[in-house]
Structure 1
Amino acid sequence: MKHWIPTLLAILLAGCAGPDVQQYRAATPVLDPADYFEGITDAWGMFQKRDGEVTKRFHVEITGSRHQDTLTLDEHFRYDDGTTQQRVWRLVRDDDKNGEQHWRGTAGDVKGEAQGTAAGNALRWQYTLLLPVDGTTYEMQFDDWMFLIDRCTMVNRASMRKFGIEFGQVTLMFRRRACNP
């Protein structure tokens, strides 16, 4: 009976594996987050439960600025229920390796440091968000995938997990202001 346990474990772990950002290395246009987010960007998005039900919609105004080696993203959220939120990211680009850009970042409601890797038109961004719900704060692991569609438009899909179980997804569409494709 014990002989099938390693096989089952290998199958389960393989099911958790996702795409590698390297597979997008040749995709264009090439995404450089510092270039894309400099200035003002609008985003529209929604939260979905794991069954697909949309539970919240929102608009984000993002002001991006560079100071030496730091990209600051000042995000202002307005949700469909009228509530608002602000998140300020501080991102730093690490050394490039194998055609990839490596990023790390912090924000007030992010536990520890976020890690990101960009290649071609894609950016994979992973972090733990401290998510307040009804007086309790949950540590949710986010796995964001951003894809540059053209120099003005980007699409983002994020998976929210806790204990390896997906609780929902966030989908966003970004559009740079004053941009012509």
Structure 2
Amino acid sequence: MEPFTYALLGMILMLSLVFVWTRKFGFLAQSPEDYADKGPQFDLRKHLAGPILCEGMIYGPTGRVTSRFVADMDVSWNGNIGTMTEEFRYDSGATQSRYWKLTLGNDGSIRAEAPDVIGIGQGVQRGAGVQLNYRIKLPEESGGHELDTVDWMYLVENGTIMNRSQFRKYGVKVAELVATMRKKEAA
């Protein structure tokens, strides 16, 4: 075999190993059942309710911080249907308003709808964790890309919610978000 063929086979093998590693052992390998009996019981109607302060960072594909933000959220519930408004302020000076409609099933399932979500997001609430999967369309000023999103929220004993999200295009991670959410009176 020629050196080019060896290099190409080596690259394919390495990409395959990275793909398997992330799907079997990394962030994407988590399951809601992993959190079913761990930590405090996360009830979205209780812990994600009222005025909430959110602070976070967005990391680019290389792992470097590309943006920081603070958001004011307000979440209200009518039975198992919640509405959430979000007002983001980014370190660049840009602002963004978002709106979510969340519907909780009695089995812990979650349906999430938002104007920038393509179709309907699906999720599950178990124990101290909440997982949400959806496809988001970025604003035009951010490129207008459509990204597959895996969103995890974890409830901490003091009531703070830790949020970690990964955004992928064609299966490749292009961004990651890490944020805290806590009730404003506790902030």
Same fold, judged at TM 0.5 (above): yes
Give the equivalent residue in structure 2 for 1:155.
Answer: 162
TM-score by length of 2: 0.83
Q: Does 1:124 align with 2:131?
A: yes
C-alpha deviation, 1:14, in angstroms: 6.4
Distance 1:40 1:134 in 2: 28
Opposite residue 123 of structure 1, the aligned amino acid is V
Q: 1:95 to 1:167 in 2, by over 3 A?
A: same
Q: Which has the higher helix share?
A: 2
Opposite residue 108 of structure 1, the aligned amino acid is P
Distance 1:106 1:152 in 2: 25
Q: Is the 8 A contact 2:80 2:105 kept in 1?
A: no
Q: 1:178 to 1:11 in 2, by over 3 A?
A: closer
Give the equivalent residue in structure 2 for 1:31.
Answer: 42
Opposite residue 167 of structure 1, the aligned amino acid is V
Give the equivalent residue in structure 1 for 2:149.
Answer: 142
- Structure 1 counterpart of 2:76, from 65, 73, 79: 65
C-alpha deviation, 1:179, in angstroms: 4.1
Structure 1 stretches of 4+ moved >6 Å: 8-11
Give the equivalent residue in structure 1 for 2:60.
Answer: 49
Q: 1:135 to 1:38 in 2, by over 3 A?
A: closer
Distance 1:72 1:150 in 2: 25
Q: Between the two proteins, what is the percent identity of the paired residues?
A: 29
| Rg comparison, structure with higher value | 2
Q: What number of residue pairs does the alignment pair up?
A: 170
SS, match of residue 139 in structure 2: strand
Distance 1:137 1:14 in 2: 29
Q: Is the 8 A contact 1:37 1:73 kept in 2?
A: no
Q: Which has the higher strand share?
A: 1
Opposite residue 71 of structure 1, the aligned amino acid is G
Give the equivalent residue in structure 1 for 2:185.
Answer: 178
C-alpha deviation, 1:132, in angstroms: 2.5
SS, match of residue 23 in structure 1: helix
Give the equivalent residue in structure 2 for 1:107.
Answer: 114
Gaps of 5+ in 2: 1-14
TM-score by length of 1: 0.85
Q: 1:11 to 1:74 in 2, by over 3 A?
A: closer
Q: Map 1:162-173 to 2 at 5 A.
A: 162-173=169-180
Distance 2:104 2:75 in 1: 14
Give the equivalent residue in structure 2 for 1:16.
Answer: 23
Give the equivalent residue in structure 2 for 1:5.
Answer: none
Distance 2:129 2:159 in 1: 14
Distance 1:135 1:141 in 2: 15
